[in-house]
């Protein structure tokens, strides 16, 4: 009886091990398990809120105790800034109008502004090998898989999982992420790969003759259809030549503050 | 109410899950013990007829979802660890706490190696030293986990 029980447990364990391997393969290769994942995420989302409470509470307390004079000072700077910005905006509106007119003249259908959803960072994924973040807007706010996410400095990443009340973002620095980019100065197109560090992107296998300099700006090229064109992505920090194979490999620093932004914008491509 | 008191097991696992997803500074990330594995080892040792392989499987799926890892990655490790535990628990239950802790270290290390192995297959190799930090911390806190969960189990009259 004892032996039989043990054998039963072994069979069960073998079955479960095989089941685990199958779910891993299915999860890695296909997307059938997305529904399981989003349902379980929904159940544990209260826990996520609970866990993020201390940090949020800290912010709230900090706000509460900001002194009056500091607020006044801040208010002054904001007012000044807003005056400058509104002045600039007037110019921008004129330019946008002019741009639309010219585009109309050219018969081009490129849109100028995209719809955005403002979202807040909920949590940072704890897996040290990935660069994933969780935001507090989900499918009920119109977020969909594949939408691009930016902060006020540049592109952060794209949506990979969506739940009703939250969504998971893969950052451009994730080792599994690649983003099509273009050099502003020379117009060279390339692809920037994540390296697992929030301060570095890598552009591999550029031809040695490519016109690249340190401090060149990189923007999204819009190729591939995931990211809208002309959003700032990164700035070149170092260039290393592989003389033997005739390639140049470039390291660039992301513009977006991948590790410190709390407010992000999800861009809805307008159809 | 015979069913209600077993909720204690689930509640302790929810607490473990909270500890797993609690944000920690980057340097401490590597030393976060696998709380779910610790709690599962305890319950499968204390109540092997209640907390078995399927239980480990479902805990693993929830853990994988909340950590954003492949569905099945931590599950595989937990199922194997609980399987070992189900084979050895009668010999381990009678040991002193410190000796148990060494055994728990071995289980946590197996758990860690399986998780790292799956990461490696995906092309994200883990530095070798990173294997040992979390199981070591897990070993050091095992006596406390054991005592706390044992008291809870006695209060809830589970046997």
**Record: contact B79-A16, CB cut-off 8 A:** yes
pLDDT for the residue B2: 57
* Domain interval for residue B141: 4-23+30-155
pLDDT at A12 over 80: yes
From the list A24, A37, A130, the residue facing B118 with the nearest CB is A24
Which phi and psi (to 5°) does residue A131 adopt?
-125, 80
Query: Using one digit for the tens of pLDDT, what is the confidence trace for A122-169?
Result: 877 767 778 889 898 888 888 999 999 988 888 999 999 888 888 999
Q: How do the residues of chain B divide into helix, strand and coil, expressed in percent and rounded to 5?
A: 75, 0, 25
Give the chain B residue whose CA is nearest to the CA of A7. B87
Between CA A234 and CA A238, with CA A237 as vertex, the angle to 5 degrees is 130
Give the minimum alpha-carbon distance from A144 to chain B in angstroms, rounded to a whole number.
18
**Record: contact B23-A33, CB cut-off 8 A:** no
- Bridge partners of A156, per DSSP, are none
Q: Which residues of B touch A7 (CB under 8 A)?
A: none
Q: How many residues does chain B have?
A: 159
pLDDT for the residue A271: 54
Would you call B132 helix, strand, or coil by DSSP?
Answer: helix
**Considering all CA atoms of chain A, what is the largest pairwise distance in Å, rounded to the nearest integer?**
86
Give buried/exposed letters for B133-155 (b at 16+ CB in 10 A, else e).
Answer: bbbebbbebbeebbeebeeebee
The CA-atom distances, in angstroms, between A220 and each of A148, A172, A187, A229, A248 are 11, 12, 11, 5, 20
Give the minimum alpha-carbon distance from A114 to chain B in angstroms, rounded to a whole number.
29
Residue of A12, A14, A19, A20 best to disrupt the B interface, most CBs of B under 10 A: A20
From the list B18, B23, B29, the residue facing A55 with the nearest CB is B23
Q: Which residues of A touch B57 (CB under 8 A)?
A: 16, 19-20
Q: Which residues of B touch A37 (CB under 8 A)?
A: 65, 71
Query: Using one digit for the tens of pLDDT, what is the confidence trace for B25-51?
Result: 777 878 889 999 999 999 999 888 888
Inter-residue contact A80 to A73 (CB < 8 Å): no
Three-state DSSP string of chain A: CHHHHHHHHHHHHHHHHHHHHHHHHHHHHCCCCHHHHHHHHHHHHHHHHHHHHHHHHHHHHHHHCCCHHHHHHHHHHHHHHHHHHHHHHHHHHHHHHHHHHHHHHHCCCCCCCCEEEEEEEEEECCCCCCCEEEECCCHHHCCCCCCEEECCCCEEEEEEEECCCCEEEEECCCCCCEEEEEECCCCCEEEEEECCCCCCEEEEEEECCCCCCCCCEEEECCCCCCCCCCCEEEEEEEEEEECCCCEEEEEEEECCCCCCCCEEEEEECCC
Give the minimum alpha-carbon distance from A79 to chain B in angstroms, rounded to a whole number.
36
From the list B23, B57, B75, the residue facing A51 with the nearest CB is B23
Which phi and psi (to 5°) does residue A158 adopt?
-140, 160
From the list B29, B75, B119, the residue facing A126 with the nearest CB is B29
Give the minimum alpha-carbon distance from B80 to chain A in angstroms, rounded to a whole number.
7
Distance (Å, rounded) from C-alpha B62 to C-alpha A36? 10
Distance (Å, rounded) from C-alpha B110 to C-alpha B125? 16
Distance (Å, rounded) from C-alpha A216 to C-alpha A193? 17
Distance (Å, rounded) from C-alpha A31 to C-alpha A34? 6
**Record: contact A16-B54, CB cut-off 8 A:** yes
Mean pLDDT of A3-28: 81
- Interface pTM, i.e. ipTM: 0.84
Would you call B128 helix, strand, or coil by DSSP?
Answer: coil
pLDDT for the residue B104: 94
Mean pLDDT of B147-152: 92
Q: Does the A178-254 domain belong in CATH 2.40.10.350?
A: yes
**Record: contact B76-A27, CB cut-off 8 A:** no
Query: Using one digit for the tens of pLDDT, what is the confidence trace for B71-127?
Result: 889 999 999 999 999 988 888 888 888 999 999 999 999 999 998 888 888 877 677
Distance (Å, rounded) from C-alpha B32 to C-alpha B22? 10
Query: Using one digit for the tens of pLDDT, what is the confidence trace for A63-93?
Result: 777 777 788 888 888 988 888 888 788 778 8
The CA-atom distances, in angstroms, between A14 and each of A8, B83, B143 are 10, 10, 31
The two tokens of residue B3 are: 């069913």
Which phi and psi (to 5°) does residue B72 adopt?
120, -15
pLDDT at A210 over 90: no
From the list B23, B53, B70, the residue facing A28 with the nearest CB is B70
pLDDT for the residue A131: 86
Chain B residues near any Cβ of chain A (below 8 Å):
14, 17-18, 20-24, 26, 29-30, 32, 52-54, 56-57, 60-62, 65-73, 75-76, 79-80, 83, 86-87, 118-119, 122-124, 126
Distance (Å, rounded) from C-alpha B21 to C-alpha A46? 12
**Higher model confidence: residue B24 or residue A23?**
A23
Distance (Å, rounded) from C-alpha B51 to C-alpha B70? 23
Q: How many domains would you assign to chain B?
A: 1
Whether this prediction's pTM lies above 0.80 is answered by no
**Higher model confidence: residue A134 or residue A57?**
A134
Q: Give A43's pLDDT tier (boundaries 50, 70, 90).
A: confident
Cα radius of gyration rounded to whole Å, chain A: 24
Give the minimum alpha-carbon distance from A51 to chain B in angstroms, rounded to a whole number.
6
Distance (Å, rounded) from C-alpha A266 to C-alpha A194? 20
pLDDT for the residue A110: 52
Give the minimum alpha-carbon distance from B70 to chain A in angstroms, rounded to a whole number.
6
**Record: contact B21-A126, CB cut-off 8 A:** yes
Residue of A9, A11, A24 best to disrupt the B interface, most CBs of B under 10 A: A24
């Amino acid at each position: 009886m004892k032996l039989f029980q043990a054998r039963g447990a072994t069979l069960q364990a073998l079955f479960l091990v095989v089941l685990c391997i199958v779910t891993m393969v299915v999860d890695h290769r296909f997307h059938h398990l997305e529904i399981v994942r989003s349902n379980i995420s929904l159940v544990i989302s209260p826990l996520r809120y609970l866990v993020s409470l201390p940090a949020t509470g800290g912010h709230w307390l900090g706000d509460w105790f900001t002194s009056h004079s500091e607020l006044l000072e801040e208010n002054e700077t904001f007012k000044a800034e807003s005056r400058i910005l509104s002045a600039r905006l007037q110019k921008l509106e004129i330019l946008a109008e002019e741009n639309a007119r010219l585009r109309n003249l050219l018969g081009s259908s490129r849109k100028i502004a995209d719809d955005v959803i403002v979202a807040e960072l909920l949590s940072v994924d704890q897996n040290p090998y990935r660069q994933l973040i969780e935001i507090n807007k989900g499918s009920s706010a119109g977020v969909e898989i594949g939408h691009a996410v930016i902060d006020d400095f540049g592109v952060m990443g794209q949506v990979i999982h969506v739940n009703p009340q939250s969504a998971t973002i893969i950052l451009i620095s994730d080792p599994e992420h690649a983003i099509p980019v273009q050099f502003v100065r020379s117009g060279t197109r390339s692809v920037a790969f994540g390296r697992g560090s929030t301060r570095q992107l890598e552009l591999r296998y550029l031809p040695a003759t490519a016109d690249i300099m340190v401090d060149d700006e990189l923007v999204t090229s819009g190729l591939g259809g995931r990211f809208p064109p002309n959003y700032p992505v990164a700035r070149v920090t170092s260039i290393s030549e592989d003389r033997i194979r005739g390639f140049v490999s470039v390291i660039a620093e992301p513009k977006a503050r991948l590790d410190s932004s709390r407010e992000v914008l999800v861009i809805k491509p307008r159809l | 109410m015979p069913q209600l008191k077993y909720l204690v097991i689930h509640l302790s696992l929810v607490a473990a899950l909270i500890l797993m997803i609690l944000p920690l500074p980057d340097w401490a990330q590597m030393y976060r013990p696998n709380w779910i594995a610790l709690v599962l080892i305890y319950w499968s040792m204390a109540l092997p007829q209640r907390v078995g392989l399927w239980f480990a499987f479902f805990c693993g799926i929830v853990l994988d979802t909340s950590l954003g890892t492949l569905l099945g990655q931590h599950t595989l490790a937990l199922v194997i660890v609980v399987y070992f535990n189900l084979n050895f628990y009668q010999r381990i239950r009678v040991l002193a706490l410190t000796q148990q802790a060494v055994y728990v270290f071995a289980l946590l290390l197996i758990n860690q190696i399986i998780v790292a192995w799956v990461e490696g297959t995906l092309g994200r190799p883990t530095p070798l030293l990173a294997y040992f930090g979390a199981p070591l911390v897990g070993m050091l806190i095992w006596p406390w986990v054991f005592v706390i969960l044992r008291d809870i189990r006695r209060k809830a009259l589970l046997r």
